[in-house]
Structure 1
């Protein structure tokens, strides 16, 4: 407790020192960094884009110490991000539209213009990144199916025509060791450029299994990326990119709760399984992006190939023979589980975009995605001195083909007013085969939707923009495993107005938006022991979301920057299918919905002769979170505080950091097993406070 109070006092002191520096400074030439984004497939100023976009530049990414997806998304208003169960599992929610098990992502994930078409690709190590853009609200018109909640656009650093690079070493809590770096330059000057980058991370973990007395969240990642830019002519550019990611770590580390403690989603319980779970994920991908600039416009072709595998092994009863001699589910002494996932993705996009410098601008294109997904699920009842008794043995093959065509037109009605109209048609055909039982017929079903978007924006002044948007989103339906019933596609309509402004001689940036969305056949996940412990995706007939977002950034002095964001979200279940077996009521909040997000950051730079010292404080408060449609289990608000102190110059930097220094305990995922089970809950616990140091050298 004393440590937490001391750290909180330190943060307050640092903010107070920042205020003193601000009061003493009279710089007139200080201004915020200009931010350029490609949210609408064109390079535009952030403040000119009529979309709610949170953009993180390379400088901000480094200042925050961003090393993975989990370091950046929770600081975005009305966005939540959690990790659980395997090294490839993540749960992102944007404005209430949530990622769920065994389903498509609610956001489009794009890296260097190439769609990442599996939700298993969102959890990643972030290194050598130039910019991250988080678009909120449905973006289906340009980004397609499954961009129902928004889009995440990640831009890595491009190859350079001059030789340069960087290297970084780090160490921290849980015996963390890390190394990363990049090197770039010309192979043939002005014609063929390269960039090689990589990252390594190894940790023994920080969450203890109280029965085995071992850490359950051990983690090792190895990532490499190679990128080549071929400047064939002034009009033709070819961007070739390949990457490989190999992650091993803990899995099935969920903690089971005693039935007498149910109804409290905030109790602190640690894992107590007698099996130390493990998982592994490998991703190899290759992409080719070709841009050909003509008088008509720029023709872009993007080809992507991904091979992804993930496996895990762990405890099925989430307990041990001492505490639970009959297992928490009453199945017997003990049980285990194993799953093997193999996904192959091939995508092709072709689009033609008009030049930027004309009154009427347009984009037309088409997209194709082929997905082959094989999943084996195995479970055994474990009895001493006997072979395991099979409980589950399912093998399924899924072949999906998705097609789409899209178009967008932007017209400058006046010098200050622009009208944009977009339209996209998506068709997704899904086929599932029971590989373990050839006598069962193959199931197939198609889902399709037309996604329009209309936006009008008006510049009140050169530094103030207002906009109004109507947009739609679509997330495909599918099948609930082998023999499971299908679930419906989800659609969403969104109405939004926004305001973007720059004040105080470009030293203050203030953006705001309010929105109202209506979802039909809202997809959610639960575990149902009336169906033998099945993992089930189901639909809520109608759901409504209402919310608001406010973001600001202030360059108070040359050396002091303040930034923050607030997101407010209200969800309402409006209609429920009478056949739904899960407890839910009209007027309840939707599953995995978080009421509010708040973040605040302060960065103070202190000149020290030829060196610069930097003090960074980031505070976030996440509001109440509702886990299930019955709203019985509710997570209390969470307070997160991160600190960073660094010293260095343009050549080298040394940084000391602390994450979650208040040592907040919370559940990253929480599942009530009350549906047919004896009142047992499972939760995936958060990491405690962690600390470390990093050394970086630029060359």
Structure 2
């Protein structure tokens, strides 16, 4: 708390509250009239999004935003970020232990070490959440928004590939609540309880608890859940000009993280059933059941450290924040968003195939964003802001033992540290602004800019010899900007184009500086031009949105991870190009029928990509970057006397991709398709629902994340969930 950045964070929060104080004097209760729904008429309903930090109609936002309401998340069984992947075009959200790595349009970070920062920002209620916090459950959600492409102007650091924003449901001025219950195979039991109370006509509170239990997908019972999360929030609206929303949550995980299984080797047996060796087979696992993480029978000879065991973990996450909105007149609003995140995640034991491992990550993060926004007449709307953050983290990864740092002798070559960051302090701030000016009745111009400073100061133990201390101290000054134009061809057809930039702060390799060798890894930079059209047709029943884009990624921070190596240097690849197109179609031919289709094409290719050792990987695709992803679904509501039954089917397709830029053996995921379905009854008054659901009904085995390593190798892999199914019910009171 002694750092200069922390003082500024506290000072900006205090300033916002002082400015707000004069507005608290009125006691007029908030209006109780319900606002009219923009989509209450015939056709497709309008959706209001806030991804650009102001409320706007999705069809008027000049970017390919994916927005999903909380009711849809519940209906589709989206309880965490990995499941949401199948609803977002061009996205890959995959689990790695306690982390969900986030990729948008091929851009993301595929390592989970303390010196590697995310490339896509993940936010709860405007608060940046560290990487190990992305795996907490999603429940009682108001809105889920995904904004692809570099977002350097409004979001700054760690948004070089885009941002994912999750908004919790705020307290409402009513008394009531709800329960949602779920049961399924793998002994699934899931309950979410909500209680909402209006303590007065100006103050409401909301309490939510979520508990999920599930046996493991793996033979050792790894990849199981025994997770509890609770959230408290309050909303105070003393008058129409002031709103204060305060929230906090805790997430505690007591289930078992997944183990990695061997991939790419097929056992060979002789006529007598004796194991004689292995042959390379890209899609092979050691047993017929890919989720068998043990080494049964003669495969025990490939387990030099004994049979893999159930993974164990200690996961403790607390976070809180607030949003203060104050109208400073008819045309100006002040917004202040302070936040704090504490996270301590220890995976005591998990298995890299046949090798035991240990991982520990800890974060203490404070931040504050202070904004002013408003409009000048009917022509100009604007916002400007100040953002400050202070994050102290540490992280250790150990290969060869599950007993933690005490079991690793200094200088040991096995077991060894794959990451050893004793302290990594990241702090900085930025000023930013964006404005849209209307020229005539149809044309609008947008411009924005951000200037930021990011300071990184770290120390740890060098990975190359496991003994020498290393130090890192570096400051980055960065200017990002955006320019764009929108044109209303008709009241329901808008064309747009824009250019924007983003960056990834500089980082470091975990080695000491030596003559001729610096541990600095330069900042990554991405610039992108995009253009598209948003349209409604046939009496507002058909929506067709299409965006074409071309991005250039310079100084990409990347690492070819090999779990068997002591030290894997991060380096800057000079150039990657990412052209593509995203097509989103929604058709509601009747009030009972809905058809949606999203097609994403991304040709992510290395253009000037040479490793420090001189190896050239030009022309290859990047990690987890499928050329094609297709999401689609169809639903029909069967009307009944007391309600309706909704039958829906959703599909997800991805073309072939590799998990690393080297395209190592064993890291390829072939093209696949998944199928999900729901059959749910809803009462007319909205108080009851009950139904059946199934996910991955085709039971496709899909790798979640993969690395070149293992015994016998050539790779090890985390796996997506197998076929799951169950029943779900809910009621409101």
TM-score by length of 2: 0.83
Measured at CA, do residues 543 and 199 of structure 1 come closer, stay the same or move farther in structure 2, by a change above 3 Å? same
**Alpha-carbon separation, structure 2, partners of 1:317 and 1:147:** 30
Assess if the C-alpha contact under 8 Å between 2:595 and 2:635 holds in 1.
Answer: yes
Q: Shift of residue 71 of structure 1?
A: 2.1
Q: How does 1:60-99 map to 2 (within 5 A)?
A: 60-84=72-96, 86=97, 88-99=98-109
Measured at CA, do residues 639 and 408 of structure 1 come closer, stay the same or move farther in structure 2, by a change above 3 Å? same
Aligned residue number for residue 293 of structure 2:
271
Aligned residue number for residue 602 of structure 2:
569
Assess if the C-alpha contact under 8 Å between 2:485 and 2:498 holds in 1.
Answer: yes
Assess if the C-alpha contact under 8 Å between 1:396 and 1:482 holds in 2.
Answer: no
* Aligned counterpart for 1:611 among listed residues 631, 634, 643: 643
Q: Shift of residue 255 of structure 1?
A: 0.8
Q: Shift of residue 422 of structure 1?
A: 0.5
| Number of residue pairs matched by the alignment | 641
Offset from partner CA, 1:595-621 (integer Å, 9 cap, x none): 111011111111121131111101111
Q: Shift of residue 457 of structure 1?
A: 0.4
Q: Which runs of 5+ in 1 are unaligned?
A: 1-27, 209-213, 320-334
Aligned residue number for residue 52 of structure 1:
64
**Alpha-carbon separation, structure 1, partners of 2:512 and 2:692:** 53
**Alpha-carbon separation, structure 2, partners of 1:413 and 1:681:** 57
Matched, 1:419 2:445: yes
* Aligned counterpart for 2:50 among listed residues 38, 61, 65: 38
Offset from partner CA, 1:510-549 (integer Å, 9 cap, x none): 10000000000112232247852x3543331100001000
* Aligned counterpart for 1:405 among listed residues 431, 439, 454: 431
Aligned residue number for residue 516 of structure 2:
none
* Aligned counterpart for 1:554 among listed residues 553, 576, 587: 587
Q: How does 1:7-18 map to 2 (within 5 A)?
A: none
Offset from partner CA, 1:386-405 (integer Å, 9 cap, x none): x8876235451111112111
**Alpha-carbon separation, structure 1, partners of 2:677 and 2:226:** 24
* Aligned counterpart for 1:203 among listed residues 181, 194, 214: 214
Aligned residue number for residue 272 of structure 2:
none
Aligned residue number for residue 342 of structure 1:
362
Q: Shift of residue 477 of structure 1?
A: 2.4
Assess if the C-alpha contact under 8 Å between 2:244 and 2:323 holds in 1.
Answer: yes
SS state at 1:574 partner: strand
Assess if the C-alpha contact under 8 Å between 1:370 and 1:401 holds in 2.
Answer: yes
Matched, 1:653 2:677: no
Offset from partner CA, 1:638-670 (integer Å, 9 cap, x none): 211001111230221111111001000011111
Aligned residue number for residue 539 of structure 1:
572
* Aligned counterpart for 1:671 among listed residues 696, 707, 718: 707
Matched, 1:194 2:205: yes
SS state at 1:396 partner: strand
Aligned residue number for residue 448 of structure 1:
477
Aligned residue number for residue 26 of structure 2:
none
Q: Shift of residue 29 of structure 1?
A: 6.7
Aligned residue number for residue 659 of structure 2:
627
Measured at CA, do residues 236 and 433 of structure 1 come closer, stay the same or move farther in structure 2, by a change above 3 Å? same
Aligned residue number for residue 636 of structure 1:
670
**Alpha-carbon separation, structure 2, partners of 1:549 and 1:378:** 41
Aligned residue number for residue 341 of structure 2:
306
Aligned residue number for residue 529 of structure 2:
495
* Aligned counterpart for 1:176 among listed residues 168, 188, 192: 188
Q: Shift of residue 128 of structure 1?
A: 1.0
**Alpha-carbon separation, structure 2, partners of 1:426 and 1:587:** 33
Assess if the C-alpha contact under 8 Å between 2:216 and 2:223 holds in 1.
Answer: yes
Measured at CA, do residues 548 and 266 of structure 1 come closer, stay the same or move farther in structure 2, by a change above 3 Å? farther
TM-score by length of 1: 0.87
**Alpha-carbon separation, structure 1, partners of 2:101 and 2:542:** 33
Assess if the C-alpha contact under 8 Å between 1:90 and 1:122 holds in 2.
Answer: yes
* Aligned counterpart for 1:359 among listed residues 358, 379, 384: 379
Offset from partner CA, 1:466-493 (integer Å, 9 cap, x none): 0001001111121233549332221101
**Alpha-carbon separation, structure 2, partners of 1:491 and 1:234:** 42
Measured at CA, do residues 355 and 258 of structure 1 come closer, stay the same or move farther in structure 2, by a change above 3 Å? closer
Q: Shift of residue 91 of structure 1?
A: 1.7
Measured at CA, do residues 611 and 630 of structure 1 come closer, stay the same or move farther in structure 2, by a change above 3 Å? same
Matched, 1:282 2:321: no
Q: Which runs of 5+ in 2 are unaligned?
A: 1-39, 266-277, 295-306, 514-518
Aligned residue number for residue 323 of structure 1:
none
Aligned residue number for residue 486 of structure 2:
457
**Alpha-carbon separation, structure 1, partners of 2:230 and 2:350:** 32
Matched, 1:228 2:229: no
**Alpha-carbon separation, structure 1, partners of 2:728 and 2:691:** 5
**Alpha-carbon separation, structure 1, partners of 2:211 and 2:376:** 40
Q: Shift of residue 126 of structure 1?
A: 1.3
* Aligned counterpart for 2:119 among listed residues 100, 106, 123: 106
**Alpha-carbon separation, structure 2, partners of 1:198 and 1:415:** 49
Assess if the C-alpha contact under 8 Å between 1:252 and 1:313 holds in 2.
Answer: no
**Alpha-carbon separation, structure 2, partners of 1:252 and 1:658:** 22
Q: Shift of residue 158 of structure 1?
A: 1.6
